[in-house]
Amino acid sequence: MPALTTFQDFVIATDQKVITPSTKILNEAVKNTYILKSAQRGRGDDELMQGGSSLVDMIQLTDNGSFQFYVPYQDLNATATDTMTKISVQWRFAVGYYVWSDEEVELNEGDQEATYKKLLKSKKQACNTSTFNGMEDAVWAFPSASNMEATAGEVPYSIPAFIDEIGTDHHWPGFTNIMGVDPDLEDRWRNKISRYNSADPFDELDGIVAAFDDMWLSVRFESPETASDYFENDMLNKMKILTNKDGVKKYKANLRALNDRTVTPQDAAYNDPTYSGVPVKYISTLDTALLDQEAASTTPSAWADGAPRYYFLNFSFLYPIYHSKRYMKSTNPMNDVKQPFSWVVYKNTYYNWFCRSRQRQGIVTPVGFAA
């Protein structure tokens, strides 16, 4: 069978749905860190993969108000009360692709099967890396109501869109609802905000660690009693404190300044720092995302330089969901009459981020950032 025909068949026969670790091809296009991995860890396909025309859930933001005191022989009037609130998001559509030419296949030398494997792996790896890098960038995109909340929007919700730091209307400018619910009317549909003095981040009363203490109580995280609890308890190991490089450096500087009053004595580098057992994790995308947000914001602020943010996230209630029929779904190789010697495979994904509880999410941010 001709080589060109067999390579097209080889592509179809060896299609893979997920990225695989690189062995012979060094992938220098990856990011330092991916929050997608943390958000998806420990979840089954029943949570991460769903069907339907949109993503919908019901949450309870209030009780039914039925409690009362009474005296003997008093009439009791029971009234049905709807306490459920619908939250919903629309699917967002993403695509990546890889391309090869007849000439590229024909001019490869050596064992045919080995050549095919290496060529196809390089193509898929580049496509998958681009897809996951794009999804990771989208996780930290500046909030946009027209692109994220609107039914006709183009991009998925970002984590900053769920985590407002302004506090006035409990959502970013331009938004009225978050996932179809107005947080200005529903106080349990608001994330938590704690502030620190960026001019003196080491102050014991209004510095970074003091703001961490306030946030910890606000989001009611359950502190693990031992280190093993964090790894064994699903509710605990989905908690993360995320920040940029400046944020990690300032938090570690706080630990050194406080010495052994907050943690047991350890190496001065404070590698993999934690707060009450929860990792303070570096997210490389935030190094540039915060600066991009500053440029896009209409409200002046010092997003990155000297004033880092710390996202307190509970991924038990915040995670991406993919369409069960459209997760990295590949087309067969296609070509065009105008480019008859070139071939393309598209990889299609429907997904969006879903937040089941905003009040369990929070942000520690500098004093002075307000609408």
**Residue with more model confidence, 225 or 364:** 364
Q: Tell me what pLDDT residue 265 has.
A: 52
User: What distance in Å separates the CA atoms of residue 164 and residue 355, rounded to the nearest whole number?
Assistant: 13
Query: Beta-strand (E) ranges in the chain?
Result: 49-50, 54-60, 84-90, 92-101, 192-196, 239-243, 274-275, 278-282, 310-314, 318-323, 329-330, 334-336, 339-355, 362-366
Q: Which pair of tokens denotes residue 125? A: 């790896």
Q: What is the pLDDT of residues 53-87, one digit of tens each?
A: 888 888 887 777 888 888 998 888 888 777 788 88
Q: What is the pLDDT of residues 3-14, one digit of tens each?
A: 555 677 777 766
Sign of torsion over alpha carbons 268, 271, 277, 280: positive
Instruction: Name the average pLDDT for the chain.
Output: 80
Most confident of 27-31, 70-74, 234-238: 70-74
pTM beyond 0.95, yes or no:
no
User: What distance in Å separates the CA atoms of residue 61 and residue 322, rounded to the nearest whole number?
Assistant: 26
Q: What is the pLDDT of residues 309-356, one digit of tens each?
A: 999 999 989 999 999 888 889 988 888 878 888 889 999 999 999 999
User: What distance in Å separates the CA atoms of residue 255 and residue 259, rounded to the nearest whole number?
Assistant: 6
Q: What is the pLDDT of residues 130-176, one digit of tens each?
A: 998 899 889 998 888 999 999 999 999 999 999 988 767 788 888 99
Please determine, for residue 295, whether its predicted confidence score (pLDDT) is greater than 60.
no
Are 162 and 318 in contact by the 8 Å Cβ rule? The answer is yes
Backbone angles phi, psi at 268, to 5 degrees: -65, -15
Please determine, for residue 243, whether its predicted confidence score (pLDDT) is greater than 50.
yes
